[in-house]
Amino acid sequence: MNHIQTVILDRDGVINFDSPDYILSPEQWQAIPGSLEAIARLKQAGKQVTVCSNQSALGRGMINQSMFDAIQAKMIAETEQAGGSFDYIAVCPHGPDDGCACRKPLPGMLLDTFKALDIQDKRSVVMIGDSYRDVQAAHAAGIAAVLVSSGYGDADTIFEKSKALMPNLQVFDNLAEAVVMILDE
């Protein structure tokens, strides 16, 4: 997959540990071991790295914008400390019933990313997620997807369901392993 030029990451369950109770404070945001270094390796290889993340805790009123911004600032600072960075970050603050076009499994955030980074060749883009809705969004946007099993859902069930949508889908334990494959290391 060395032809990949842009890597779109889900946040919770891919970059940081996820929780069924949401990530509601900077203290709760904890990077998955190896994920920040994997982002740094992508950047060192000249790849664009972006984040597209559903964050319905905002729309549900479970967290305010300033606390969310503090969580994002922690993610950015720790990523930069590890030698990485993000070229673009897209967030859907809406709940599942809000009727927006950006919430995954819809492709809105991914399409916004293409526009923001002037991506013309979708074959050069991969989405790395930990859920079926990440795969659905990638499929709807016309790009490849990779699953990681570092989220809190049932990884085997997610993979089987996703494989029906994208038969060539690959699954890795975590982002670090996926990046080894992308960079053909």
Report the DSSP beta bridge partners of residue 91.
53
Q: Is residue 13 part of a domain?
A: no
155 falls in which pLDDT band (50, 70, 90)? confident
CA distance 74 to 112: 24
Which residue among 12, 18, 130, 134 is the active-site one? 12
Question: Whole-number mean pLDDT of the chain?
Answer: 96
Question: What pTM, to 2 d.p., does this model score?
Answer: 0.96
pLDDT attached to residue 154: 86
pLDDT attached to residue 2: 67
CA distance 102 to 109: 5
Q: Is the pLDDT of residue 185 over 70?
A: no
Q: Where does residue 132 rank: exposed (0-12), middle (13-18), buried (19+ CB within 10 A)? A: buried
Q: Is residue 14 part of a domain?
A: no
Q: Is residue 111 part of a domain?
A: yes
Is residue 10 part of the annotated active site? The answer reads: yes
With a pLDDT cut of 90, the percent of the chain lying above it is 94
Region 105-125: what's the mean pLDDT? 97
Sign for the pseudo-dihedral over CA of 4, 106, 133, 152: positive
Q: Is residue 60 part of a domain?
A: yes
Q: Is residue 78 part of a domain?
A: yes
Which residue among 10, 18, 130, 134 is the active-site one? 10
- Per the CB < 8 A criterion, the answer to whether 105 and 75 are in contact is no
CATH at 90: 3.40.50.1000
